[in-house]
Amino acid sequence: MHRLLHTTLILCTCLLLGSGLYAQPGKETHQSRLLKELRAIAERPPYLTSDTRSTPSAPGTMVSPALQLQLQKELARRKSKPALTARPGGQCEDTSFVKLIGLKNAVVYVQTLTTTADDGVLVGLLMWDSTKNLPQPSWIQYGVLARLDPRGEIEWVKQFDDLSNTPQNLMYINGVFELTNGDIVCSASWNTDGSSSVYNTLIYRLDRNGNERWRNTFKSNVGIFNSPSGTFTFDLEGVTEGLNGDLIIAGTTRSNLSSGKMETIARLNNAGKLVWDANYLNYGTDGSYRFGAEGISAMVQNGEVILIGISHGTNNPVTSGAINISRLRYSDGTTINNRFFRPIYPDKNLEFYKGFSFWKNQWQRLNNGHYVFSGVLYADLSGLSTVGDHFGVVEFDAQFNLVDAYSIGSTLKSNYYNSKIDFSSSGKGLFTILEYIGSYVGNVYFGSIENKQILKERKAYIEGGMPGNNGFAIFKDKSYAYVQTNFQLDAATNATSYFEFRKMHDSDT
């Protein structure tokens, strides 16, 4: 492990949207017209279809024997050394430490993670056996869910796979969520056709120990003017509990032919079967080009469904994206009303850069009843020579009225795909920025924030490949862990990849 170094980088908070941010619940705005134009799509019969014939069976003979042995043998009883081995990176002089959790003869990518109510860490992974006798070992991939304790020790591992005898099986866990009773909902993208980039969506409900309660497979049949039915994949981004055991799921449906992303929300019954779904687009009926929409989260409040998403604006004319908060009828998902919040600046290019980007956004309910929307801004994505803003934070009260908005910025030139910000229900936020130095070398900056005050800054020099899809776990004592894929070569174990568990405290010296 490389000793954590405290950075001298001064991270600043400044107004992101300020007085320019506004809500228009009743006026016929440009963006509300867009949603009304497409209401017919949202309220027609379901496009998210379920096909149990395509649902993979329980894990079995398709699993690589070597990986099966590594991941499952004696793991639950902890009577032998788990194959996902935690290798201490060396204890630091303070209370922080780093562990590298790796696989022999395999490749593993972190895809998603979440912190449980009892301070567990659920990590969704993509994995393949690098020793398989295939033209490309990555043609057979497995979804893996691991639960860690607050010190990065492995508590259990569940491996998902399908039994279809196909030359390719591409599967990765891309969403993990904990329900109030401790059950786990996780989603995976799954494809057995190497010539297609369209994925089925698998949704699993597990108990707190990873045992399966039910599973279902979904495929989107929606189509728009330049992306016909059959070209869309649904990615799950949020889950909430509904009435009578229902689940409300929210996410983004994307096409493999264009940027035609749309917000998707659906209601599942207590067995995971589809009741209804609705799709909201940021596309004009005349075919004009826009950046699409993205579903972030959902809630059930006062017998209604609340959908939180982003309408991503357009480039002609330059229009910033808007956070949308939509009330829907619980019975069928039809729209009651929409509210939009977006930055307004005289300089339209600046306004655009102040908007939230794709796939990097989070909605979090706070303990005081407020809500925080946070994410990575287009300014971070654009690769500007002098990046002013990396992250945006917008706070709403319990009635979804604007309370505050600000950004977190620096003079660093960051790598967008590693930028990440998360908030916990306590109101504490964590963020990270990668400063790329060279191949397998970079400085990783970390910061913690609360009440718009930077509490802690630090910098770590890391030698290892660091792709995105990283994340934070925030624990009850306000300590936290950073989890990141880390590629390294290790002759002693023949391992080519790890994921890193980096534990940190604001009190570290």
Of 3.40.50, 1.25.10, 2.60.40, 2.40.128, the CATH number of 22-47+224-342 is: 2.40.128
What is the Cβ-side half-sphere exposure of residue 239, based on CA atoms within 13 angstroms? 24
pLDDT at residue 448 is higher than 90 = yes
| Residue 194 CB coordination number (10 Å) | 13
Collapsing DSSP to helix, strand or coil, 35 comes out as helix
Strand 200-206 relative to strand 184-191: parallel, antiparallel, unpaired? antiparallel
| Residue 211 CB coordination number (10 Å) | 10
For 68, 144, 370, the CA distances from 360, given in Å and listed in that order, are 33, 22, 21
pLDDT tens-digit profile of 300-336?
A: 999 999 999 998 877 777 778 899 999 999 999 999 9
pLDDT tens-digit profile of 451-483?
A: 999 999 988 887 766 776 788 999 998 899 999
Question: Which of residues 187 and 194 earns the better pLDDT score?
Answer: 187
Distance CA 323, CA 263 (A): 12
Phi-psi region of 105 (alpha: psi -120 to 50; beta: other; left: phi over 0): left
Question: Which of residues 50 and 262 earns the better pLDDT score?
Answer: 262
Q: Which residues contact 429 (CB under 8 A, 6 or more apart)?
A: 372, 374, 393, 421, 422, 423, 448, 449, 450
pLDDT at residue 199 is higher than 90 = no
Are 381 and 392 a contacting pair, CB within 8 Å? no
pLDDT at residue 73 is higher than 80 = no
Of 156, 161, 151, 153, give the one whose Cα is nearest residue 188.
161
The pTM of the full predicted model, rounded to 2 decimals, is 0.83
pLDDT at residue 142 is higher than 60 = yes
pLDDT tens-digit profile of 328-383?
A: 999 999 999 999 998 888 888 888 888 898 888 999 999 999 999 999 998 887 76
Collapsing DSSP to helix, strand or coil, 77 comes out as coil
Rg (C-alpha) for the chain, rounded Å, is: 22
- Per-residue pLDDT band at 422 (split at 50, 70, 90): very high
* Burial (CB count within 10 angstroms: exposed 0-12, middle 13-18, buried 19+), residue 208: middle
Strand 48-50 relative to strand 480-490: parallel, antiparallel, unpaired? unpaired
Domain edges within the chain: 22-47+224-342
What is the Cβ-side half-sphere exposure of residue 46, based on CA atoms within 13 angstroms? 16
pLDDT at 259: 60
| Contacts of the segment 431-434: beta carbons below 8 A, 24+ positions apart | 431/390, 431/391, 432/470, 432/472, 432/482, 433/390, 434/466
pLDDT at 21: 36
pLDDT at residue 191 is higher than 60 = yes
Cis check: omega of the bond before 82, within 30 degrees of 0: no
pLDDT at residue 246 is higher than 60 = yes
Are 427 and 455 a contacting pair, CB within 8 Å? no
Of 14, 29, 9, 27, give the one whose Cα is nearest residue 354.
14
pLDDT at 478: 86
- Per-residue pLDDT band at 196 (split at 50, 70, 90): confident
Distance CA 306, CA 338 (A): 10
Distance CA 397, CA 431 (A): 23
